[in-house]
Amino acid sequence: MTSVGEVKLALEQSCEFLRDAYRSVREAQAALDEAVDLLVEASANHHESLVPAGFVKARERFADELDLIVGSLDLVQRLAVEL
């Protein structure tokens, strides 16, 4: 049988993983933004854009992913408090 303490510890670890995920996604977002900016700048010398369509789509989805992580973190923290 699992104790309440063990569940709280698991929830604490989950919170840490979610915080790490948030930081990683933010770093990825910043790196992609930088890459897109460089490609946009380089595109000025070409007849068509050098920015892959997938980059634009990924850029748009970062906000949703960050919201999902934050929402999950909030739920896990609230559950830990309620135990």
Q: Please provide the size of the chain in residues.
A: 83
DSSP one-letter code for 45: T
Q: What is the pLDDT of residues 12-67, one digit of tens each?
A: 999 999 999 999 999 999 999 999 999 999 999 889 999 999 998 999 999 999 99
Answer for the pair 15, 76: CB distance below 8 angstroms, yes or no.
yes
pTM of the model as a whole: 0.84
**The pLDDT value given to residue 1:** 63
Token pair recorded at residue 13: 């670890």
DSSP one-letter code for 48: S
Q: How many CB atoms lie within 10 A of CB 69?
A: 20
